[in-house]
Amino acid sequence: MTQTQASETPRLYDDEGDLLVQADQRSDRIVMLPAGDPRHASTDRDRVRIQWGQHLLADLLGHRYRTLVCGVNPEDNSHGIIGELAELLPTSQWNAETITAHARTFAKSLGENDVLVLKYDLDAVEVLALLRPPNQKQFSLENLGRGFRKLAQMIERRYDRMPCASVSFLGAKSNKLVDEHGREPSFEAVLRTMFDAGYRGDVYPSLGMWELAPTGVFANYPFPKSLDVMRSGGF
């Protein structure tokens, strides 16, 4: 690297921070890949932002979002994010027990394949929670798509519900998501399901995804077309 090139490289930190803060194989880390042209912008809500490395609960408590999308079930929500959030918000009138009781009431009237969107007003945050069909112990991608079609209409037409953040439904303790083979689907499959349903808010990856390096990640969905080219054997 020439002296001119070195001087043009942006510095991240003051003093010797750039040399000191270097991730190694033992670090939880991701590799961010640029995609798209930042000079091209429009007013269209044409992408889902992926909040790599951010803390959802902290962002909700810090009033960065008006709405949260997550799952809820009629058995136990004490380990889910909605139960944790209700405990942390000082003005919330809900707790894990009342959240579950509310879900149980509506679960009794659900059809075999129905997915319902329940609204929980936690004062500082409105939670739109997907209630899975009563005959299923886990969410499917089909459930997710049906629920997000309803959610997209509830959010995109209501500016008072924006900005909105959603969990990825991956790595969940209380409301697990599985594919047709009974395994957890890829993050790309989840994003595609949300996007095709019309959702354009933010998505927070599961904590386990902070260990994906050296695989590169993109900050938005849809992913660049070059990914499909590579998968098809092109360059």
- pLDDT digits over 95-138, tens only? 999 999 999 999 988 877 889 999 999 999 999 999 988 888 89
Ranges of each domain in the chain:
46-222
- Residue 7, pLDDT score: 55
Model confidence over 180-219: pLDDT tens digits?
A: 999 999 999 999 999 999 999 999 999 889 988 889 999 9
DSSP strands (E only) in the chain: 31-33, 48-50, 67-72, 116-121, 126-131, 139-140, 164-167, 177-178, 202-204, 216-218, 220-221
Q: Is 98 exposed, middle or buried (0-12, 13-18, 19+ CB in 10 A)?
A: middle
Residue pair 199/177 in contact (Cβ under 8 Å)? The answer is no
Model confidence over 55-98: pLDDT tens digits?
A: 999 999 999 999 999 999 999 999 899 999 999 999 999 999 99
What distance lies between CA 80 and its chain's CA centroid?
Answer: 14
Write down the pTM of the prediction. 0.90
CATH classification number, 46-222, choose in 3.30.300.130, 3.40.220.10, 3.40.50.11930, 3.60.40.10: 3.40.220.10
Q: Is the pLDDT of residue 25 over 80?
A: no
Q: Residue 1 — pLDDT band, cuts 50, 70, 90?
A: very low
- 175-181 long-range contacts, CB within 8 A, separation 24+: 175/70, 175/71, 175/72, 175/73, 175/80, 175/130, 175/132, 175/138, 175/139, 176/138, 176/139, 177/138, 177/139, 177/140, 177/141, 177/144, 178/138, 178/139, 178/140, 179/140, 179/141, 180/140, 180/141
